[in-house]
Structure 1
Amino acid sequence: MLILAKIVVVIVALLHLYFLWLEMFAWTTKAKKVFRQFPEHLFEPTKTLAANQGLYNGFLSAGLIWSLLIQNPVWQVYVALFFLGCVAVAGMYGAVTASKKIFVVQGLPALIGIALLLLHLFL
């Protein structure tokens, strides 16, 4: 169970590294293809806002990667749970305020990771 949970943590961390790249470095290019519902004329004026959002995604990714490097197995799980919880809340908020797709892409993988880690702790 723990191996599967760590795989999910890696996947979520990689997703957030992708979000970082997309929002910080590819907002006016590749992001236009990803965020098709966003009006094209607003990409350039919102470039710095997107970069700020990308930086936060980078922090989430860094926390998840850090959790995998912690030697103490209990703290490793606790730190992963914290950062996955942050991702899950962000995914739920995004689903309510922007698009349901955000929950599927961001929130659901985090919740799966949380469930697997909790199963590991309590089984």
Structure 2
Amino acid sequence: MSILANSLVALTAILHIGFLVLEMFLWTKPQGLKVFRMSPQQAEATKVLAANQGLYNGFLAAGLFWSLVATPPEFGLQLKLFFLVCVVVAAIYGAWSVHPRILLVQGGPAIAALLFILLAS
């Protein structure tokens, strides 16, 4: 059970690295325009804000990766819970303020990880 939980934590972290790349480096590129369904004008006008969002996603990813290697294990568990809850809160806000699919894409893996962490504890 803990292997699955840690795999879901790692998946959540990897997804947030992907969000970092999309928001910081691909926002105004064809891939970013397609993923975020924006016009080139919208992307250009919001690229600084997107880069800031990407940076925060990188911090979430770093915290999740840290939680996987932190010692003692109790501290790692606290880090996992903290950073996963941060991801879920961000996903809820994104779903409310931007588009409901954010809850599934960003929050889904984090919610699953939280569930399996709690079941494994």
TM-score normalised by the chain length of structure 1: 0.94
Structure 2 CA distance, aligned partners of 1:76 and 1:109? 18
Shift of 1:77: 1.1
- 1:46 is paired with a residue whose SS is helix
Shift of 1:59: 0.2
- 2:45 is paired with a residue whose SS is coil
What is the match of residue 86 of structure 2? Answer: 86
Structure 2 CA distance, aligned partners of 1:93 and 1:43? 21
What is the match of residue 101 of structure 2? Answer: 101
Q: Percent identity?
A: 51
**1:117 and 2:112 are equivalent in the alignment:** no
What is the match of residue 9 of structure 1? Answer: 9
What is the match of residue 52 of structure 1? Answer: 52
**1:56-95 CA-partner distances (Å, limit 9, x unpaired):** 0000000000001112111111101100000001111111
What is the match of residue 20 of structure 1? Answer: 20
Structure 1 CA distance, aligned partners of 2:62 and 2:87? 12
* Alignment RMSD (CA, Å): 0.9
**1:70 and 2:70 are equivalent in the alignment:** yes
**1:33 and 2:34 are equivalent in the alignment:** yes
Structure 2 alignment gaps of length 5 or more: none
Read off the aligned partner of 1:31 and give its amino acid letter.
G
Structure 1 alignment gaps of length 5 or more: none
Shift of 1:39: 3.8
Number of residue equivalences? 120
Moved over 4 A (4+): none
Structure 2 CA distance, aligned partners of 1:72 and 1:43? 43
- 2:44 is paired with a residue whose SS is coil
